[in-house]
Amino acid sequence: MRGQLPVLILALGIPLSVLRAGQAPRPNVVFILADDLGWSDTTLYGQTKFYQTPNLERLAARGMTFTRAYAASPLCSPTRSSILTGLSPARTGITAPNCHLAEVVLTASAAPTAAPSEPATPARSVTRLATNYFTLAEALKQAGYVTGHFGKWHLGREPYSPLEHGFDVDVPHWPGPGPAGSYVAPWKFPAFKERTPGEHLEDRMAAEAVAFMEKHRDRPFFLNYWQFSVHAPFDAKKSLIEKHRARVDPENPQRSPTYAAMVESLDDAVGTLLEALDRLGLVDRTLVVFFSDNGGNMYNTVDGTTPTSNRPLRGGKATVFEGGIRVPCIVSWPGHVAAGSRSDEVIQSSDFYPTLLELLELKPQNMQVFDGISIASALQGQSLPRDAIFTYFPHSPKVPDSLPPSVVVHRGDWKLIRVFYAGENGGHRCMLFNLATDPGEATDLASREPRRVQEMDALIERFLSQTGAVLPRRNPRFDPATPRGADSGRKKPAPERKVSPRSTPKPA
């Protein structure tokens, strides 16, 4: 396989057989994943005048920007698992960001009880990405790539760290949900210390990633740079905070100077990687993906306001409305993906694994399944052969605009949300939106489109069956008159046994 160029060169009209005769190296892969960066948090979509992301614009000028890219979950760990496995959180059971907890849970289950304000019992999420999944990193390593993970992981500590999932190196080798203590040194990582006083974590992570590229410039590499930014804790370089404080418009819902400074440091790190690719002469043979693990945070408080605003989208992180799951996305590969192009095709985080396999002409393992599909045709400006995507979120976080346990289907311009057992007579409640005319999800059309609701809910039912999702149960204690959150008295569920999950086994 080594030495073969990916199939996208066919879009250039050059016969593959001719190019195979050359000595072109296999492309490198750089996957940049932001944390909590919302769709409206970059200048890619014309939704912000406060945040500044010139390096993301620079990357977009080299490739394709997706306007309708979706995280597999409105929370981080489930989306991260979907990238590495190509599977839906409904299938892996990782549906909540609890992979830093001490308890090792490898099978999902329905919680035994819920508060009277909740119509359904939530799921108990898996807390580790089990090592019997054959990950994207393992697939590329098997194909001869050197693999490196830099930044946030949040899929489990040893023996579930990046080093057990196909990565040769892992820096800073930290299992937590965010930075250890602060972005600006001194940090609190057990085995990773700052080199200079006041060093910014994202500057350091980018420098470590560049050193990896420099060391392995002569062989194919897979660089997984999962940024800590812009997740809490909310702190940044003081000079950048003051810079953006002077720019605040009190009428703009995006008005946190600290968050704006964090966005700038995230963008600066992207620029550091792009500059290194330029300097090392690797641009034309490096495929770069930029993505975010979920929508922007709308429930914490920073500088007297929410960290960000996802307008015109509804909701944010931890909700299944568009603000919680629609995210920025760029795929760049000069000479293979048209520079400065855009696509309105609907894609999801679980698509990246099968896509990279196709582009690199690698085959999946025997019996390996994906919930995502290859988006190679979209990268050529074509439509995708898919009917729908699904977002499974069987939880009930108490944040603004959140719903009880839910599942979502997107089909074309239409979006249906099924809220488990929240409808009349204990049935499911369905909410229907036309995103083409109502991207803010202000008008529920379910009562006007009963046939469409029935068809799309049937798709949900099939998806839940195919993935073997652990479903929420009807809550016998549910009292519709009780306000949500009024009763948090829940029985602590009994610890679960450590057992292996359903998955595609690794090859012997």
pLDDT for 480: 85
pLDDT for 278: 98
99 annotated active-site: no
Confidence of residue 5 (pLDDT cuts 50, 70, 90): very low
Active-site residue identified among 149, 154, 244, 410 = 154
In a domain, 508, yes or no: no
CATH of the domain at 352: 3.40.720.10
Chain centroid to Cα 264, Å, comes to: 20
CA-closest candidate to residue 431, choices 411, 405, 457, 467: 457
pLDDT in tens, 50-109: 999 999 999 999 999 999 999 999 999 999 999 999 999 999 999 999 999 999 999 999
- Round to whole Å and give the CA distance between 202 and 270: 10
CA-closest candidate to residue 224, choices 148, 330, 331, 138: 148
Q: Give the percent of the chain with pLDDT over 70.
A: 90
pLDDT for 134: 98
85 plus 211 within the same structural domain: yes
Confidence of residue 260 (pLDDT cuts 50, 70, 90): very high
CA-closest candidate to residue 457, choices 407, 501, 500, 503: 407
DSSP label at residue 131: T
Confidence of residue 485 (pLDDT cuts 50, 70, 90): low
- Round to whole Å and give the CA distance between 179 and 199: 13
Active-site residue identified among 76, 99, 329, 430 = 76
- Round to whole Å and give the CA distance between 372 and 425: 35
pLDDT for 486: 56
pTM (2 decimals)?
0.91
pLDDT in tens, 102-137: 999 999 998 888 999 999 999 999 999 999 999 999
pLDDT for 24: 62
CA-closest candidate to residue 288, choices 27, 31, 9, 7: 31
Q: List Cβ<8 Å contacts ≥24 apart for 300-306.
A: 300/232, 300/234, 302/234, 302/256, 302/258, 302/259, 303/255, 303/256, 303/257, 303/258, 303/259, 305/253, 305/255, 305/256, 306/253, 306/256
In a domain, 247, yes or no: yes
In a domain, 496, yes or no: no
For residues 389-395, average pLDDT: 98
Range of the domain at 237: 7-386
- Encoded tokens for 370: 């994906």
**In the predicted model, is pLDDT for residue 399 greater than 70?**
yes
In a domain, 67, yes or no: yes
240 plus 176 within the same structural domain: yes
**In the predicted model, is pLDDT for residue 306 greater than 50?**
yes
pLDDT for 498: 41
In a domain, 498, yes or no: no
What's the domain count of the chain? 2
In a domain, 377, yes or no: yes
Residue 23, classified by CB atoms within 10 Å of its CB into exposed (0-12), middle (13-18) or buried (19+), is exposed
Confidence of residue 6 (pLDDT cuts 50, 70, 90): very low
- Encoded tokens for 189: 């990582």
For residues 228-237, average pLDDT: 97
361 plus 249 within the same structural domain: yes
In a domain, 39, yes or no: yes
For residues 155-170, average pLDDT: 98
171 plus 80 within the same structural domain: yes
CA-closest candidate to residue 218, choices 23, 71, 484, 441: 23
- Round to whole Å and give the CA distance between 492 and 199: 42
Q: Of the residues 351, 386, 421, which one is the last residue of a structural domain? A: 386
307 plus 409 within the same structural domain: no
CA-closest candidate to residue 114, choices 464, 407, 493: 493
CATH of the domain at 448: 3.30.1120.10
**In the predicted model, is pLDDT for residue 219 greater than 80?**
yes
3-state secondary structure 169-208: EEECCCCCCCCCCCCECCCCCCCCCCCCCCCEHHHHHHHH
102 plus 244 within the same structural domain: yes
Q: Of the residues 336, 358, 386, which one is the last residue of a structural domain? A: 386
In a domain, 483, yes or no: no
